[in-house]
Amino acid sequence: MQTHAQHAAEGMGLGIDAGGTQTRWALAAPGGHIVAEGTVDGLSALQMASSEGRGTVRATFAGMAQAVLEHGRPAAVRAGMTGFGGEGEQLARWLAGFLGIESSAVTLCNDIEIAYLASFSPGEGYLVYAGTGSIGAFIDASGELHRAGGRGVVLDDGGGGFWIAREALRHIWRNEDEYPGSWEASPMAKAVFQHIGGSDWSYSRQFIYHSERGEVGKLALAVAASAERDPAAAGILREAGKELARLALAMIRRFGPRPVALTGRAAELHPVIVQTMRAALPPDTPLSQTGLRAHHAAARLAAGPLPGID
């Protein structure tokens, strides 16, 4: 027997935007009205490569499903996950099982596709996303996704939160190589060491090599907080802006001039990131910074196609 909440949710779509630091979900009614939303821990499809990671993903899905079902059972799910490369059968089965729906009702894709459609119609512009990692994206008029960057924090992802954190630690420890104890005169180093728990190398080593990528990315908050007092921190944030501009410039060279939208939590760390990015783009390039709600866009796609999107 259906509960009132389950009956009310008939035809609703569940949208999921799973990133390295946080996973957001939203329920949309037919027509697009958002009726509920929430957050759970960060997720990455890359976690499926290990048994520990799979256990974490499964547990997070279970907790999210429980929260969703308090508001009703969705008819369909559209989920964007960072690191997703197309192998999503197990993920879809888990989500469907916890929600009590068929696996065929779950559509998985990379989180950047959802983020793009939250900002532009296909063919309209370029999205630069800076979260834990970074990527530039363009969905053309035929629906094909083109990308620049987004190859992972080990290889690149310049301008993202992980990159900012790594650059800060690199700068601090190179200074320590030459001038031991110099961190005590650095506001950035003090903020970083406070965040990771101590100034001994063992704390940095444990943090950078054994923490989840999303947890490392959160260290960028400490870097940004010290930017007004530490030229080194401000310099790293300016370089982040240049890295993000590079992604947009790659798209402009490949597909021609179009508006650019910048989004993601790393892009919001400090105004100098956006200012530097803007200065690095062609003067006539429209640049907007959007606090997009990709989970809302995903929910509306699950509830029914958005105008202009198949």
Mean pLDDT of the chain: 88
Q: What is the pLDDT of residues 227-250, one digit of tens each?
A: 999 999 999 999 999 999 999 999
**Predicted local distance difference test score (pLDDT) of residue 153:** 84
CA 221/CA 270 separation, integer angstroms: 9
Instruction: List per-residue pLDDT tens for the chain, 310 residues long.
Output: 334 344 345 689 999 988 767 788 999 988 888 999 998 988 878 888 888 888 988 998 999 999 999 998 999 999 888 777 777 788 889 989 999 999 899 988 887 888 888 888 899 999 999 988 899 999 999 989 999 998 888 888 999 999 999 999 999 999 999 999 999 999 999 999 999 999 999 999 999 999 888 889 999 999 999 999 999 999 999 999 999 999 999 999 999 999 999 988 888 999 999 999 999 999 999 999 876 678 888 888 888 754 444 4
CA 220/CA 268 separation, integer angstroms: 11
Pairing of strands 76-81, 34-41: unpaired
3-state secondary structure of 36: strand
Query: Which residue, 309, 310, 247, is CA-closest to 119?
Result: 309
Residue pair 216/162 in contact (Cβ under 8 Å)? The answer is: yes
**Predicted local distance difference test score (pLDDT) of residue 292:** 67
DSSP class of residue 220 equals H
